[in-house]
Structure 1
Amino acid sequence: MAHYTIDTDDDDKYVEGHYGEGLTCPLAARSMALSALPDMVRDRLPNGDRCTFRAIVRDENGMEIYTATLMLVGEWKVIRPPS
C-alpha cells in the first residue's frame, strides 16, 4: 500500500511531513494539502504584501505528485499612508 506525506513551504520555512500521518490515498492527501493552505496563512501573516504558500504531496519514494499553491498579494490602491 502506498503512503503519502505533505510538506509545507511559506517562503520562510520549509517543513517536511512525516509518512506516519496515515495517508494511503492520493486523493485524501490532495484534500489535506488544499485544506492546509488557509491554516498556513492564518499562522503566518507576511511582513510585506506578497507571500507564497505551498503544500506538496510526496509519495513513499519522495517524488512530488501534487502541489497546491496559494499566493497572497496586497496592493495599495491609493496613496500609501505613512508608516
Structure 2
Amino acid sequence: MPRYYFDVYDGQKLFRDEEGGVFDDRAAMRAEAMKVLPDIARDGIPQDGDRQSFTVRVRNERNLTIYTGTILFSGLWLDDSANTEQKVY
C-alpha cells in the first residue's frame, strides 16, 4: 500500500509531514485530507483574526504533490458596535 505525506500550510508557515500514512487507495487518502482540514482549522484560527486559510498538500512516496485541499475561515462583523465603544452624550 502506498504511503502519503500531509503537509499543512497556514498562510505563514509550512508544517511538513515526515511520517506520512498508509492508505488503501487515492480515494482513502483524499478522504483523510478532507477529514483533517476542519480539525486543523478548528484549532488554528487565531482569536484576534477573521480571515485564515489552511491548505493540505499531499505528497506521494516520490515526493510529488498529488492532491491539495484548502479550507477558509472568513468572519465579518455586520454592525459597528463591535468596532467602536458606545458614546454617551
Where structure 2 has 5 or more consecutive residues not aligned to the other structure, the ranges are none
TM-score (ref. length: structure 1): 0.81
Residue 38 (1) aligns with residue 38 (2): yes
Identity level (%): 34
User: Closer, same or farther in 2 for the Cα pair 1:45/1:27, shift >3 Å?
Assistant: same
1:3 Cα deviation from its structure 2 partner: 2.5
CA offsets, 1:11-70, max 9 Å, x none? Answer: 243211235522352211111111011111121122311001111111111111111100
TM-score (norm 2): 0.77
Task: Give the whole-Å Cα distance in 2 for the aligned partners of 1:14 and 1:80.
Answer: 36
Moved over 3 A (4+): none
CA-atom RMSD in angstroms: 2.0
Give the total of aligned pairs: 83
Letter in 1 for 2:44: R
CA distance in structure 2 between the aligned counterparts of 1:68 and 1:37, rounded to whole angstroms: 8
Larger Rg: 2
For residue 61 of structure 2, what is the aligned residue in structure 1?
60
- CA shift, 1:76, in A, is 1.2
> Structure 1 unaligned runs (5+)?
none
